[in-house]
Structure 1
Amino acid sequence: MLQISKQDAADIVDQLSNLIKLKINIVGSDAIIIANSDRERVGDFHEAANQIIQNKLEELVVVTDDQFIGTQTGTNLPLVIDGQIIGVVGITGPYEEARAYGQIIKKMTEILIQGKDRDSRILKFKQDKERFEIEWICDPQTVITDSLRAKGQEFNIDIKKPRRLLLLCMAQANEESDLKTDILHDIRRQDPDTIAFRNLNFIVAAINDRPDDKIEIFIDRLIAKYRDKDMKFFIGVDDGFTDMLKIHDQYNKAKKALISCSQLGIQRYCFYSNLNIELVLDEIPLNAKQLYISKIFKDFSKEEIDESVNTIKVFYEEDGSIKRAAARLNIHPNTLQYKLKRIEARTGLDPRKLKFAAPFSLAELFLVEMNNL
């Protein structure tokens, strides 16, 4: 049976008491007052309410304060939801005045309680659905069984349907933005069959199976909508549907693509099938990456490492052009030459020589990952 929460009852009493300027109390199904304009009466037994509940009365008028235990002059009416009395509302005051408001307050209270209950059930359904989605796609221990399929049907989800997996994360500056919720809704709206939910810091989207070029159209539409907003997000995409039993493998591949994309910060989205060195880097332990950087940049402070790696990165992106790299770094070409020579002197590796490009590029990839942890 539906129960009235004490907080909901208190909110109703406060709102309606201020409106009609009469004292109101709400009694639970056990005949105990759970909310009252007079706070001291909360917790008292209400005999008139008990009479209504036990005898299923449509109204009980109290003509004197001592007629029933714990009651005052006024009228009391049952709160009926789905044919069951879940409590009683009482209005204290002269009968004619109390009765004039009684039925209105009773109906308003029932509507408010039903609304609260409906909202609660909707919220619970959404939470249960999201828990199922996380279990189905993100939990490596989940086994696809007939019971899991049946559970999916309860939420109108066909887990046998071929799908592609996309994972989205926000740049740190946008992590708390309300636009994150907007993006979640927009992903769902692009395709009525799309499943989208939050897991950890990601948005996970399972969309109907389609080739990569159609995935790009899907993503480009999403990016275009937020192009003019102060927002940056990255998307990782799996390498395609193979078997409904391998949905978690798709999730892991999309996650690897997302991590690669967000760490480099260059592309807005990345497909797992396009990963190269990132697949190898993902298998290297973090402590090994830290050791590698400290070995290359021995005796460098963190600020010096960041500055040196950024200088080399820009230099390589400009194909070794001192002039273009210096312009991007907003320094004189001679200053850039000095910085590169200084790096060579301290590391023993000359970033201007092709044979040392690999160790410096590897250090850059490791550093980007650690800076994003």
Structure 2
Amino acid sequence: MLLPELAEKIVKEVRKLIGEEIIVVNTEGFIIASTRPERVGTFHEGALITSQQKKKLIITERDILHLKGAKAGINLPIFFQREVIGVIGITGDPEIVTPFAEILRKMTELLISENYYSEQFEWHSRAIETFVAEWLQAKEPSPALIDRARALAINLDINRTAAIIEFDHQDHPLSRDAWSSILKSIVQNNTDVAARSGNGRIILLIDSSNSVIKKRLEAFLSFLKNNFGISAYAGVGQKANPLELRYSYSQAKRALKIAKSKRNITFDEDLSLEMITGDLTSKVKADYIQRTIGPILHEHELLDTLRELFRQNHSLKNTANSLHIHINTLHYRLKKTEELTQLAPGNIHDLLCMYLAILFLDE
């Protein structure tokens, strides 16, 4: 429970409050951390007595004559869940250091408790992550998977919707405390299942209507932005029974591709053309772009004009107004686009070809 690494952290933190020599001792009486490295590994009889009697021990100059490895000061038992797990010792005049004793003990116990629960969170988080990854791959839950679900208090009989939240350009790993705060924010009831997927993605399996899911995701994305400066987007699948949850997850991945390009929350049920294009490989899309709008890839003015034309549902008047150009200028740009690409914006087939190309390009 009280490992040397944690003991060294305790020594460093406590030293900020008091300038005296500090030691942390295990329940066998051996020093595992000290402000004086040469004392680490040596036996401290006073600390052993403190551990056994479960109460503080004041050591005077007279006491050090018969207590092996001891120095004048005070030793205090460190409790965790009502059990002694170690001893913290402060060397110095007992009359001077004793007033700090209880404060330092409480600080030490808080550090240990915080470390324990952080480790528990990390273990639970990793267990959920592994479980969800296997669950989304399984065609049907195996007995082992069912047992693990029971151990993790996950109900496998509930229909759920899969959602994937992805962070935008998350270069640096988040701390354990940050992840704890993030996952606690997104999980709101005992049917929610949230798992990390790498450092920049969260898989959320949720039993709610799409309207509720949208509100919750909007609130969560605002939480990420306001508290961690993280911009994120999300793809949401369709509700599925536990045996078909992998399909909802596949739909969420498809929706995420669109959400990534639009930087928003996208539901798979709202997709139409993207249902077909989403399964195409990057190589096919790149080849398609070259065969259609390849000649104008460096003509940013023409590309922006096409994008706006599609946003305005092919309304020439609205497109010209939105771009703040004369209608004749718009006609000139579209004619130039046709000359370079051999695709006519006024032809429904050619227009669809250009729309798909712009769609792929923006991905």
- Regarding TM over 0.5, the answer is yes
Quote the Cα distance in structure 1 between the aligned partners of 2:305 and 2:168: 23
- Kindly provide the amino acid, as one letter, of the partner of residue 48 in structure 1: E
In structure 1, give the amino acid aligned to 2:125: Q
Deviates more, 1:286-295 or 1:73-82: 73-82
Alignment-derived partner of residue 319 in structure 2: 325
Scaled by the length of structure 1, what TM-score is found?
Answer: 0.75
CA contact (8 A) 1:52 1:60 kept: no
Letter in 2 for 1:324: N
Answer whether contact 1:320 1:352 (CA < 8 A) is retained.
Answer: no
Partners of 1:53 and 1:87 within 8 A in 2? no
Aligned identity (percent) is: 23
**CA-CA distance at 1:325 after TM superposition:** 0.9
Aligned partner of 1:25 in structure 2 is: 23
Matched to 1:168, the amino acid is: I
The answer (yes or no) to whether the contact 1:237–1:258 under 8 Å persists in 2 is yes
Please state how far the C-alpha of 1:357 moved relative to its aligned partner.
1.0
- Between 1:197-206 and 1:49-58, the stretch displaced more is 49-58
1:240 partnered with 2:227: no
Q: Deviations over 1:305-334 (max 9, x none)?
A: x54333223224434433221111222222
Q: Tell me the distance in 2 between the aligned counterparts of 1:45 and 1:31.
A: 8
Aligned to 1:148: 145
2:271 aligned residue = 275
Report deviation, 1:158: 0.5
Letter in 1 for 2:235: G
Say whether 1:347 aligns with 2:347.
Answer: no
Residue number among 127, 130, 140 corresponding to 2:128 in the alignment: 130
Give the 3-state SS of the residue equivalent to 1:25 in structure 2: strand
Q: Which runs of 5+ in 1 are unaligned?
A: none
Post-superposition offset of 1:69: 5.4
Matched residue, 2:247: 249
Secondary structure at the counterpart of residue 206 of structure 1: strand
Is 1:287 aligned to residue 283 of structure 2? Answer: yes
- 1:43 maps onto 2:59 in alignment: no
- Hey, what's the Cα distance between the residues in 2 that align with 1:57 and 1:350? 88
- Retained in 1: the 8 A contact 2:197–2:203? yes
Match of 1:312 in 2: 306
Which residue of the partner structure matches residue 216 of structure 1? 211
Residues 35 and 148 of structure 1, relative CA distance in 2, 3 Å threshold: same
Q: Which amino acid aligns with 1:33?
A: I
The equivalences for 1:117-196 within 5 A come to: 117-138=115-136, 140=137, 144-169=141-166, 187-189=186-188, 193-196=191-194
Match of 1:247, as an amino acid?
A: L
Residue identity matched to 1:28: N
**What is the DSSP-based 3-state SS (H/G/I as helix, E as strand, rest coil) of the residue aligned with 2:161?**
strand
Q: CA deviation at 1:362?
A: 1.7
Q: Describe the shift of the 1:327–1:133 C-alpha distance in structure 2 as closer, same or farther (beyond 3 A).
A: farther
Q: Is the 8 A contact 1:28 1:87 kept in 2?
A: yes
What TM-score do you get using the length of structure 2 for normalisation?
0.77
Distance 2:331 2:78 in 1: 83
Query: Matched residue of 2:250: which SS?
Result: helix
Q: 1:118 to 1:60 in 2, by over 3 A?
A: same
SS at match of 1:338: helix
8 A Cα contact 1:135 1:142, kept in partner? no
Q: Deviations over 1:100-150 (max 9, x none)?
A: 448636743663354234423442354245324532444x25851222222
Q: CA RMSD in A?
A: 4.2
- Whole-angstrom distance in 1 between the partners of 2:337 and 2:168: 30
Separation in structure 2 between the aligned mates of residue 104 and residue 114 of structure 1, nearest angstrom: 15
Distance 1:165 1:321 in 2: 37
**Does structure 2 retain, via aligned residues, the 8 Å contact 1:4–1:113?**
no
In the TM superposition, residue 62 of structure 1 has moved relative to its aligned partner by 5.6
Summarize the Cα distance change of 1:197–1:83 in structure 2 as closer, same or farther, 3 Å threshold: closer
Q: 1:73-112 residue pairs with structure 2 within 5 A?
A: 73-81=72-80, 85-97=84-96, 100-101=98-99, 104=102, 107-108=105-106, 111-112=109-110
Is residue 350–residue 356 contact of structure 1 (8 Å, CA) maintained in 2? yes
Deviation track 1:188-218 (CA, whole Å, cap 9, x = no partner) reads 33x553223432444332222x6xxx41344
In the TM superposition, residue 247 of structure 1 has moved relative to its aligned partner by 1.4
Q: CA deviation at 1:220?
A: 4.4
Matching residue within 38, 59, 62 for 1:61? 59
Cα 1:343–1:184, aligned 2, differ >3 Å: closer, same or farther? Answer: farther
Q: Name the counterpart of 2:204.
A: 205
Conservation of the 8 A alpha-carbon contact between 2:51 and 2:86:
no
1:70-125 Cα deviation digits (max 9, x unpaired) = 44233444445456553332232345555x44863674366335423442344235
